[in-house]
Structure 1
Amino acid sequence: MDIILIRHGESEDNIKRVLSTDETPLTKKGEMQIERIKPLVAELDFKDVYISPLKRTIMTSEILEINGSLENRVREIDFGIFKGLGYEEFMKVYPEEGKKWVSDIKNYQIPNGESLKMTYQRVVDFLEEIINIGENSLVITHEGIIKLAFSWVFDSDEYFNKFMASNGSVNIISIDKDYKFIKKLNARG
């Protein structure tokens, strides 16, 4: 079975280089990135569709003309008090919290947000539920979630920074009995 992971197109927060907010929309370029992958997505075989409930992923699903269930477990990492801020800005506004997060990104829970480890667990719970259903599934989500899903292939959140998921990309994880592998990475039409 395949789990198809689509990253939303470029968003306004991507351009600003800030930790994204929930309501940031796609840019015109982001819309075009999704238009470009429509033929590729049309060729894929999937039954179930799960969509992060954030604006940029909903816009992505609308452009792809794909309906599905809104799924909180595939929403982006919750950056809490850092949302909408770039690195230099959150280090200035929240220096103590920023230092703690940068020194232990995996375990430090951002105030009003979550740690990478917490996010990894919710992603793993979701992916294992999908495997139990046993049908090819398509997920419209975010880079952080895709990177954690790829880490799950190796059964460890240690691989988070080893991957990149481009805006408007199609990524596929295949499961064959007890084996998980990355079948497609950053395909863009």
Structure 2
Amino acid sequence: MRLLLVRHGETEGNVSRRLQGAEDPLTERGRRQARELAAHLSDRSDVSALYASPYRRAFDTARAIGDALGFQPEPRPALAELDVGRAAGYRFEAWVEEFPEEAERFRQEGVDYAWPGGESGRDLSARAEREMDRILRSHRHKSGAVLLVSHGGTLAWIIAHLLKEPDGEWPHDYTRLDNCSITEAAIAPNGDGPTKFLYTNEVGHLSADPDEEAATGGDPVE
């Protein structure tokens, strides 16, 4: 089977680099990205299932894809982003300045640090891995592709899990996923053999922004 991992479209929180909660919406650019991604994926006839984080930014992206493919996305709470609890809405630097003791705990405890009112990185890792395994068990014997729409942090943990990397450290190598990027993997039948990633962070289906085109004289942006 094939697995398509999609990050949601751009949000104001992405632009301002704020810690986000469940209700952060897509920007106009993010909505455009979702439409372009949906148009790109509409050429694929092999997608048999569409799962999404219930967080607004991811589910709205998934809805655009589902409209293009002709079916509704299924919300899966375990695909949500890290719950930062009461820190949602803060720029990280402002949170560090206002809560220096918590910031020191964050630095010292790493993936075990639980955000006040939220969860830890280890919590996110565990739930994302369990959900990924459930989805794979449901579809491993079927043909076609399964599409997941989620978040940068959650997808990073999923990629590390599929590569069977050790737990216990932030998967920094996989957190550089752009908004509305696609990562595609081939899953070995019956779980035998390693997962093969065909490409990661593909964004060739997205158009350049007008400001970027003006800065480059209208030439394509690499």
Q: Tell me the number of residue pairs that the alignment of Structure 1 and Structure 2 aligns.
A: 189
Q: CA deviation at 1:159?
A: 5.9
Q: What's 2:56 paired with? A: 55
Q: In the alignment, is the contact (CA less than 8 A) between 2:13 and 2:19 conserved in 1?
A: yes
Is 1:10–2:10 an aligned residue pair?
yes
Q: In the alignment, is the contact (CA less than 8 A) between 1:9 and 1:33 conserved in 2?
A: yes
Is 1:153–2:162 an aligned residue pair?
yes
Provide the secondary structure at the position in 2 that maps to 1:90: helix
Provide the secondary structure at the position in 1 that maps to 2:154: helix
Is 1:181–2:196 an aligned residue pair?
yes
Distance 1:77 1:42, change over 3 A: same
Q: Percent identity, aligned pairs only?
A: 25
- Bigger relative CO (Cα 8 Å, ≥ 6 apart): 1
TM-score by length of 2: 0.79
Q: CA deviation at 1:81?
A: 2.3
Structure 2: any 5+ residue segments left out of the alignment? 206-222
For 2:28 and 2:73, locate their aligned partners in 1 and report how far apart those are by CA, in whole Å. Answer: 23
For 1:128 and 1:62, locate their aligned partners in 2 and report how far apart those are by CA, in whole Å. Answer: 23
For 2:86 and 2:6, locate their aligned partners in 1 and report how far apart those are by CA, in whole Å. Answer: 27
Larger Rg: 2
Q: CA deviation at 1:185?
A: 0.7
Structure 1: any 5+ residue segments left out of the alignment? none
TM-score by length of 1: 0.92
**Stretches of 4+ moved more than 4 A in 1?**
none
Q: What's 1:122 paired with? A: 127
| Higher mean C-alpha displacement, 156-165 vs 24-33 | 156-165
Q: What's 2:178 paired with? A: 166
Matches within 5 A, 1:75-114: 75-114=80-119
- Write the deviation string for residues 110-139 of structure 1: whole angstroms up to 9, x where unpaired: 121111111111111011111111243111
Q: In the alignment, is the contact (CA less than 8 A) between 2:63 and 2:73 conserved in 1?
A: no
Residue type of the alignment partner of 2:196: F
Q: CA deviation at 1:180?
A: 1.3
